């Protein structure tokens, strides 16, 4: 008998014993360790995909393979009566030696580590499977017996059959039947796992985990995975319509996205990504906060939906896919955050997204402003990302005193370009509307100095801008906390007009008299106020409340008041404008009688108005009563004067 004839001689069925630790592993698996047993379907499909990738590679490089004209595909057949799940592929197949090496010894290099991890993470098996090369054996979560029939792509190889009930041994035998290239796995289901012989159940699993596998998956003759993994395709081959359709499918959306970014990278990690920017922010419509919308795939197989480790919270509005070759299938979710590859992916994604948004803001201003109006509040949370703080801040948009309309926006860079000579800081004012900002007395000194002030209508900006502190070496300062000395060097375009206005004020009260009035006002208000002084910041208003040095801005104080309603508002300093008619009248009253009751009423009423203006009016009834009293007296004086004139 020749050597060739001898090699073709059929080998009988042989039984092989598993080692003790492998038997222990199988025992754990067989006792349904896993709560989501469906994971075995994903693992088997992933193995088939890998086998097809390998034989496709051999075919492309010109290897003389067995059955070269067979289509590359995965087929799944279900038999509900027999409780049978069967999956076949036309992949690379296995020799006897490869059967023993690949599935006979079950993670020969890592089985003990796997068992140790299982014991340390009881109940978390699905998160560990795949890390130690035991993906195939997840089938024993649902199987009482598994039969594997395989034929290698090598032309002179035989067909082999591997079988095991997971009890501690496996059998291998050579078979003579005309077996096609690839592998067939018959899963004889346990009684409590017959759901995996139901078509709708398997279809659901495929669409969840394996919808983007690059080879057809046919379930009982019908292809299930009809959606192309367009993120793996060249951008030049994908049309705009495809992007929009994929987004609606993937994000379960009804409207087109504002934009998207499709890119690949080879270093520092290998990945393909397709990310979308939605049109509507549902958080602003009263819905719960957005979930992280980026899904992690490994070789087109879904690992985790809404992966929070791939994207910082301030980019949670981004939707899409990240697919990498550099992670093992089903990496533990507990270790994703600490995984060096995931950290590199996250850093790369953040860098690319911020750069993309910056380009959109520069080249498609209207589109970016539309995006900002929807998602700006979420993006602002990125002020605390110190590694990317300046890049994030460059994307912020605000209305300002320089702009004509309330809906116009400018960036911090736009503001810096317009800064006056001698101006060192970026100034902002937190308020409720543009009209309220324009009437705010704190803006009068800025208007006089022709200094632009950013308007913020969102309470979160009090944390964002004060937390930002600096942008491109410029301090970010609240307008109601400005140190007036910092404005002295700011040059006004036409200072002659300002000096002319000051010279025309010939009836300016004596400074010493005004300082005495300040003392009297302080005595009238008592502990309600920290100090009363003459103002250098007012031009049109009679008075203003100013935070103490280092104190909180008015908006921040209001926020703190809302958070702690029982806490009294912080004491402030009152500044009075000696050029205002009301203050002049109060000074005249003071000179005639420092203890004039009407002077006390006016001072108290003015303080109430200032508190209302700052949002800290504690007792509105007191203010209403005071106004009514003044109106009564004013109307009486008017009628008395009119009656005397008529006489």
Span 103-140, pLDDT tens digits = 755 444 344 454 555 555 544 443 333 333 457 878 88
How many other C-beta atoms lie within 10 A of the C-beta of residue 468? 22
**What's the rounded Cα separation, in Å, for the pair 483 and 423?**
12
Calculate ∠ Cα 449-455-457, nearest 5°: 155
- Backbone φ, ψ for residue 408 (5° rounding): -80, 150
> What local confidence, expressed as pLDDT, does residue 124 receive?
43
Q: Closest Cα partner for 606 from 586, 588, 592?
A: 586
- Taken as a whole, the chain contains a residue count of 647
- Backbone φ, ψ for residue 518 (5° rounding): -60, -45
| Model confidence at 55: pLDDT above 70 | yes
Confidence of residue 169 (pLDDT cuts 50, 70, 90): confident
**What's the rounded Cα separation, in Å, for the pair 118 and 409?**
55
- Cβ–Cβ < 8 Å for 433, 408: no
> What local confidence, expressed as pLDDT, does residue 5 receive?
37
Q: What is the CA radius of gyration of the chain?
A: 38
Contacts of 24 (CB under 8 A, 6+ apart): 115
Which residue ranges form the domains of the chain, and what is each CATH number? Answer: 3-223 (3.30.565.10), 230-373 (3.30.230.80), 398-498 (3.40.50.11260), 510-646 (1.20.120.790)
**What's the rounded Cα separation, in Å, for the pair 408 and 277?**
22
> What local confidence, expressed as pLDDT, does residue 552 receive?
61
- Cβ–Cβ < 8 Å for 525, 607: yes
Please list the alpha-helical segments (H only) found in 412-538. Answer: 412-417, 434-438, 444-448, 461-468, 495-504, 511-525
How many other C-beta atoms lie within 10 A of the C-beta of residue 522? 18
| Model confidence at 231: pLDDT above 60 | yes
Calculate ∠ Cα 32-35-41, nearest 5°: 80
pLDDT tens-digit readout, 494-529: 655 555 555 555 567 899 999 999 999 999 999 988
pLDDT tens-digit readout, 422-470: 899 999 998 888 998 888 999 999 999 999 999 999 888 888 998 898 9
Q: Closest Cα partner for 155 from 48, 58, 89, 87?
A: 58
Give the residue-averaged pLDDT of 75-96. 95
> What local confidence, expressed as pLDDT, does residue 559 receive?
59
pLDDT tens-digit readout, 2-22: 333 334 556 778 887 766 666
DSSP state of 455: E
Strand-pairing partners, residue 170, are 16
Query: What HEC string does 428-447 produce?
Result: EEECCCHHHHHCCHHHHHHH
| Model confidence at 530: pLDDT above 70 | yes
Which residue would you say has higher pLDDT here, 240 or 555? 240
Strand-pairing partners, residue 183, are 89, 150
How many other C-beta atoms lie within 10 A of the C-beta of residue 445? 19
Mean pLDDT in the chain? 84
On the question of a cis peptide bond just before residue 268, with omega within 30 degrees of 0, the verdict is: yes
CA distances to 37, 47, 173 from 100, rounded to whole Å, are: 25, 16, 12
What is the DSSP code string of 376-398? HHHHGGGGG-TTSHHHHHTT--B
pLDDT tens-digit readout, 563-576: 666 666 678 899 99
- Cβ–Cβ < 8 Å for 73, 215: yes
- Cβ–Cβ < 8 Å for 358, 433: no
Q: Closest Cα partner for 460 from 555, 374, 564, 368?
A: 555
Burial class (CB in 10 A: 0-12, 13-18, 19+), 207: middle
On the question of a cis peptide bond just before residue 144, with omega within 30 degrees of 0, the verdict is: no
- Cβ–Cβ < 8 Å for 577, 538: yes
Number of Cα atoms under 13 Å in the Cβ half of residue 141: 25
Full-model pTM: 0.75
Contacts of 562 (CB under 8 A, 6+ apart): none
Residue with token string 């990310």:
275
- Backbone φ, ψ for residue 521 (5° rounding): -60, -40
> What local confidence, expressed as pLDDT, does residue 426 receive?
96
DSSP state of 289: P
Phi-psi region of 249 (alpha: psi -120 to 50; beta: other; left: phi over 0): alpha
Q: Closest Cα partner for 357 from 474, 258, 246?
A: 258
Q: Closest Cα partner for 442 from 406, 415, 482, 404?
A: 482
Both structure tokens of 391:
């890049």
CA dihedral 42, 44, 265, 318 (to 10 degrees): 0
DSSP state of 569: P
- Backbone φ, ψ for residue 616 (5° rounding): -125, 25
Burial class (CB in 10 A: 0-12, 13-18, 19+), 312: buried
How far the first Cα of the chain sits from its last, in Å, is 148
H-helix or E-strand spanning residue 557: helix 554-563
> What local confidence, expressed as pLDDT, does residue 502 receive?
55
- Cβ–Cβ < 8 Å for 213, 223: no
- Exposure class string for 163-182: b at 16+ Cβ within 10 A, else e: bbbbebebebbbbeeebebb
> What local confidence, expressed as pLDDT, does residue 214 receive?
86
Contacts of 316 (CB under 8 A, 6+ apart): 289, 290, 291, 292, 293, 378
Q: Which range has highest mean pLDDT (143-157, 298-312, 545-559)?
A: 143-157
> What local confidence, expressed as pLDDT, does residue 107 receive?
43
């Amino acid at each position: 008998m020749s050597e060739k004839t001898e090699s073709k001689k059929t080998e009988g069925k042989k039984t092989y014993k598993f080692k003790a630790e492998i038997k222990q592993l199988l025992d754990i698996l067989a006792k349904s360790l896993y709560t989501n047993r469906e994971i075995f379907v994903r693992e088997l499909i992933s193995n088939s995909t890998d086998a097809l990738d390998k034989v496709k590679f051999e075919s492309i490089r010109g290897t003389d393979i067995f059955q070269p004209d067979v289509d590359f595909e995965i087929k799944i057949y279900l038999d509900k009566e027999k409780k049978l799940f069967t999956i076949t592929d036309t992949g690379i197949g296995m020799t006897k030696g490869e059967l023993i090496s690949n599935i006979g010894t079950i993670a020969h290099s890592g089985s003990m580590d796997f068992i140790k991890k299982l014991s340390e993470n009881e109940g978390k098996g699905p998160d560990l499977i795949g890390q130690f090369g035991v993906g195939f054996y997840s089938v024993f979560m649902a199987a009482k017996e598994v039969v594997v029939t395989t034929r290698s792509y090598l032309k002179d190889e035989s067909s082999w059959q591997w079988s095991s009930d997971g009890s501690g041994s496996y059998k291998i035998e050579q078979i003579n039947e005309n077996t096609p290239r690839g592998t067939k796995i018959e899963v004889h289901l346990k009684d409590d796992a017959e759901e995996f012989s139901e078509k709708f159940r398997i279809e659901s699993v495929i669409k969840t985990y394996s919808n983007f596998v690059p080879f057809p998956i046919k379930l009982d003759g019908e292809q299930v995975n009809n959606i192309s993994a367009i993120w793996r395709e060249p951008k030049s081959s994908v049309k705009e319509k495809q992007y929009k359709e994929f987004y609606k499918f993937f994000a379960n959306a009804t409207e087109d996205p504002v934009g998207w970014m499709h890119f690949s990278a080879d270093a520092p990690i290998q990945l393909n990504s397709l990310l979308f920017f939605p049109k509507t922010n549902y958080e602003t419509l009263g819905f719960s906060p957005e979930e992280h919308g980026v899904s992690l795939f490994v070789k087109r197989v879904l690992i985790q939906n809404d992966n929070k480790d791939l994207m910082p919270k301030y980019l949670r509005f981004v939707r899409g896919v990240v697919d990498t070759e550099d992670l093992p299938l089903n990496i533990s979710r507990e270790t994703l955050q600490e995984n060096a590859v995931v950290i590199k992916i996250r850093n790369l994604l953040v860098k690319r997204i911020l750069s993309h948004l910056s380009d959109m803001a520069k080249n498609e201003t209207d589109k970016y402003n539309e995006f900002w109006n929807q998602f700006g509040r979420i993006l602002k949370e990125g002020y605390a990302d110190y590694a990317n703080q300046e890049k994030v801040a460059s994307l912020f948009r605000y209305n300002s005193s320089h702009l004509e309309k309330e809906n116009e926006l400018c960036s911090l860079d736009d503001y810096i370009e317009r800064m006056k000579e001698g101006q060192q800081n970026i100034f902002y004012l937190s308020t409720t509307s543009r009209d309220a900002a324009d009437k705010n007395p704190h803006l009068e000194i800025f208007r006089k100095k022709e200094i632009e002030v950013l308007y913020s209508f969102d309470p979160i900006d009090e944390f964002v801008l004060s937390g930002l502190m600096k942008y491109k070496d410029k301090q970010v300062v609240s307008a109601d906390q400005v140190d007036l000395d910092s404005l002295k060097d700011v040059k006004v375009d036409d200072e002659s007009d300002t000096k002319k206005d000051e010279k025309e004020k010939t009836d300016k009260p004596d400074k010493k008299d005004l300082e005495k009035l300040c003392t009297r006002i302080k005595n009238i208000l008592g502990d309600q106020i920290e100090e009363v002084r003459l103002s250098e910041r007012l031009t049109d208003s009679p008075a203003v409340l100013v935070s103490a040095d280092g104190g909180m801005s008015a908006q921040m104080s209001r926020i703190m008041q809302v958070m702690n309603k029982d806490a009294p508002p912080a004491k402030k300093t009152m500044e009075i404008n000696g050029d205002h008619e009301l203050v002049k009248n109060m000074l005249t009253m003071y000179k005639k009688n420092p203890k004039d009751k009407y002077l006390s009423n006016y001072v108290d009423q003015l303080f109430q108005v200032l508190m209302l203006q700052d949002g800290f009016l504690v007792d509105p009834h007191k203010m209403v009563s005071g106004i009514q009293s003044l109106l009564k007296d004013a109307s009486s004086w008017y009628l008395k004067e009119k009656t005397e004139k008529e006489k």
